[in-house]
Amino acid sequence: MRAGYLIFSGLLGKLSLKQLPHDPLTIFGASLMVAVPIVIAIILTLTKRWKWLYREWLTTQDHKKIGMMYIIVAVAMGLRGLSDVILIRAQQSLASGNSHGILSSSHFQQIVSAHGTIMIFFVAMGLMFGIINLIVPLQIGSRDVAFPFLNATGFWLFFSGMVLVNVSLLIGDFSATGWLAYPPLSELKYSPTVGVDYWIWSLEIAGIGSLMAGINFIVTILKNRVKGMKLMLMPLFSWSVLGSMSLVVFAFPILTVALTLLALDRTFGMHFFTAGGGGNMMMYVNLIWAWGHPEVYILVLSAFGVYSEIVSVFSRKRLFGYSSMVYAIWAIVVLSFIVWLHHFFTMGAGSDVNAFFGIMTMIIAVPTGVKLFNWLFTMYRGKLSLKTPMLWFIAFVVVFTIGGMAGVIMAVPPLDFQFHNSLFLVAHFHMMIVSGVLFGYFAAITYWFPKFFGFKLNERLGKYAFWSWLIGFLLAFVPLYILGFMGATRRLDHYSASLGWQPLFIVAAVGVGFIILGVTFQFLQLIVSIWQRNRELSGRDPWSGRTLEWSLPTPPPIYNFARLPEVSTRDAFWAAKVAGLSDDRPYQAIEIPRNTPLAMVIAAGAFCFGFAFVWHIWWLAVLGLLIVIVTIIYRSMDEHPTYLLSAREVELLDKSKFAKDAVS
C-alpha cells in the first residue's frame, strides 16, 4: 500500500488535494468558472448542437470565424478582469485604518496580478487579433490569410493559455508578484507556491500563439494584396496592423526568452536572475520591458488604424496626411524599441543613460502627435456625424491627450523618481491603454458589426454605454492621479485613516460602478439589436437582401471574393461605386482550407506541457511535447489540406439569393 501511494504521488508531482481553494471568494470564482462551461454543455446537448459546434467552429480555418472566436474569448476574459477590478476597488475603499477590507494581502496581490495579466494578454490582444482577422483580408482584397492553419493554431494556443490562467482558480494559486513578475520576488525563495509558474506558462503558450499570428499577418499583407494595390494604396488600418505585427515578431521572442530563463531558475535551480547565485535581476527587468514597451504599441497601433478609418468615414472626408500617417506608424515602430528603460529610471543607471531614454520618450510623442493632428484636420470642416464609433474616437482624443501629457511628465527622470511605483503611474497607464486600445476596439466592433452580421447595433443603447464608460473611467482614474501625488503606491491593500485617502478611493469605486453600467448597456445593446432585427425580418431569411460593400455580400461568404477586384486608387471601391461600374469577368475556381482538429490537438498538447511544468508532472510534460511534435509532423504530411470550389459553384453561390448557402 505504501509503495502504491508513493508511485501514485510520484505520478502527480506536487499536485494534491491540499491545493484545492479554501478562500470563500476563490471558491466562488472557481465554482462560477466550472458552472459556465457546464451550463453551455447542457444547452448544446439539449439543442443537439455539438456536431454543429465542432464542424462549423472548433475545427474551422476560416479567418472570419477565428476572429469571432478571439472576440468571444476576449469578452469572457473582460468579464473576469472586471470582476477583479470590483474586488480591487472594494478592498481599497474599505481597507482604511482598523478595517482590513474583504481580502487578505496575499489574495489581493494575486487579484491585482491576474487583472493586469488577463486584461493585456487575453482581452486587449484577443480583441486586436479578432478584429484583424475579420477586417485585414477584406481590406487588402485577399480571399484568405496566408497561413490558415498557422492562424488557427495561434488562436488555440491563445485559448490554451487563457484556460491555464483560469485553472489557477481551481488548483493552487496565482502569482502575487504583479503582472510582470519582477525577481527576486518571483524567484522560488520568495514565491514558493505555483502561482508564478502558472503565470509563466500561460504567457509562454499564449505568446507563442501571438508570434504565429504576427508572422501570418505580415505575410498576408505583404504577399496577398489584390492586383494593383501597392503599399501606399493600402487602407490605414492595414498599415497599422503591418506595423503592429512587425513589433510582435521582434518583441515576443524576447518575452519567450525572459519567461524561459525565469522558469529555469524556478524549476531547475539555475541562477540567471538570482544575485546570490551570480545572476542579475536587472537583466530580467531589461528583457521584460524590451518586450513590454513595444507591447503597448502593438496594441495601440492597431487601434490607431481603427480610428483612422472611423474619423474619415464619419467626417465625410478623405483622411488628412495619409503619407505622414504611414511614416508616423514606422517612426513609432522604431522608437518603441529604444524607450524601454524609462520604466525603471530609478535603478541607478546614471544620468547619461537616464537622459538618453528620457529624450527618446519625449521624441516618441512626436509621431503620435502627428497622428492626432491629422485626425483633427480630417474633422476640420468635415460633415461630422456623431454616431457611436465617432464618440469613442472623440473620447479617445481627450483622454489619450491627458494621459500623454502625464507620460511626458514622467519622461523627466527627476519627476519619475517621485511618481515611480505610485498610483499616478497606474492612472497614466490606464488612460493610455483603455482610451488608446479598448475604446478603439469598442469603436471597431460597433463600426464593422453590420459587415459581419448584416444589421446595425442599437444606436441609443450604444450611446448610453459610451457615456457610462466615459464618466466611469474618468471617475475611476482621475482620483488616482491625485492619490499618486499624495504618495499612494500601487498594489496598496491597506493604508492609515489619517492619510485622508479613503474618499478618493471611494470615488474611484463609484467610477467602477459606472463602468459596470456601461458594460450592462453594451450587452443590452446586442440583445435588443438582435431582437429588433428578428422582428424586422418577420420570419424571412436573415441573410437575404444583402448589401454590396467592398464588392462583398454582407455578411461575407466563406471565400470572401467571388471575383477578385483590381485596385488603382486608394479608395477604389468608393470610386467604382460612384462610377456605377459592373464586373463581367469570368468566375474562377477557389481553393478553401479544409476544417481540421489538429490545431486544437497542438494546443491541448501545449496545455498539458504547461500544466505539467507547473506541478512537476514530468511524464505529462513529455506526453504533451510528443503530442505537439507528432501532430505537427502529421500535419506537414497532409496531402489534401484544401478543397476546390469550382468556378460554376462560385458563380451559383455568388448569384444565390441567400448568401448563407455559401457555407453548405
For residue 591, what pLDDT is reported?
87
Confidence of residue 299 (pLDDT cuts 50, 70, 90): very high
Q: What is the per-residue pLDDT across 180-239, written as a single tens digit (0 to 9) for each? A: 999 999 999 999 999 999 999 999 999 999 999 999 999 999 999 998 899 999 999 999
The yes-or-no verdict on residue 630 having pLDDT over 60 is yes
Average pLDDT, the chain: 89
Which residues, at least 6 apart from 366, have a Cβ–Cβ distance to it below 8 Å?
Answer: 331
Give the list of residues 6+ apart from residue 510 with CB closer than 8 angstroms, or none: 475
Question: Please, what is the Cα angle at 326 between 321 and 330, to 5 degrees?
Answer: 140
Confidence class for position 659, pLDDT limits 50, 70, 90? very low
Alpha-carbon distance of 604 to 205, in angstroms, equals 11
At residue 33, the pLDDT reads 80
pLDDT of 584 above 80: no
How far is CA 161 from each of CA 69, 153, 256, 507, rounded to the nearest angstrom? 15, 12, 14, 35
pLDDT at 661 over 50: no
User: Do the Cβ atoms of 145 and 135 come closer than 8 Å?
Assistant: no
- DSSP-assigned states of every residue in 160-221: HHHHHHHHHHHSS----STTTT-TTTTSTTT--SSHHHHHHHHHHHHHHHHHHHHHHHHHHH
Q: Is residue 264's pLDDT more than 80?
A: yes
How far is the C-alpha of 224 from the C-alpha of 228, rounded, in Å? 11
For residue 23, is pLDDT > 90?
no
Model confidence band, residue 3 (pLDDT cutoffs 50, 70, 90): low
Model confidence over 475-486: pLDDT tens digits?
Answer: 999 999 999 999
pLDDT band at 7 (very low <50, low <70, confident <90, very high): low
Nearest to 131 by CA among 240, 10, 6: 240
Among 71-85, 176-190, 406-420, where is mean pLDDT lowest? 406-420
- Identify the pLDDT of residue 472: 97
The DSSP code for 590 is: E
Which candidate, 320, 322, 317, places its Cα nearest to that of 382?
317
In tens, the pLDDT along 147-168 reads 999 999 999 999 999 999 999 9
582 or 601: whose pLDDT is higher?
601
DSSP assignment of 220-260 equals: HHHH-PPTT--GGGS-HHHHHHHHHHHHHHHHHHHHHHHHH
Which CATH code fits 59-542? Answer: 1.20.210.10
Q: Where are the alpha helices (DSSP H) in 12-62?
A: 24-46, 50-53
Cα distance between residue 118 and residue 123, in whole Å: 6
Query: How confident is the model at residue 16, as a pLDDT?
Result: 84
Average pLDDT over every residue of 431-438: 93
Which phi-psi region, left, alpha or beta, contains residue 91 (left: φ > 0; alpha: ψ -120 to 50)? alpha
Lowest mean pLDDT among 16-20, 70-74, 589-593: 16-20
| Predicted pLDDT at 640 | 81
Query: Residue 616 pLDDT > 60, yes or no?
Result: yes
Q: How many CA atoms lie within 13 A of 437 on its CB side?
A: 23
Mean per-residue pLDDT, 527-539: 79
pLDDT at 24: 79
pLDDT at 108 over 50: yes
Can you give the pLDDT at residue 657? 45
- Report domain extents, the chain: 59-542
Band (pLDDT 50/70/90 cuts) for residue 580 is low
**Cα separation of 252 and 125, whole Å?**
13
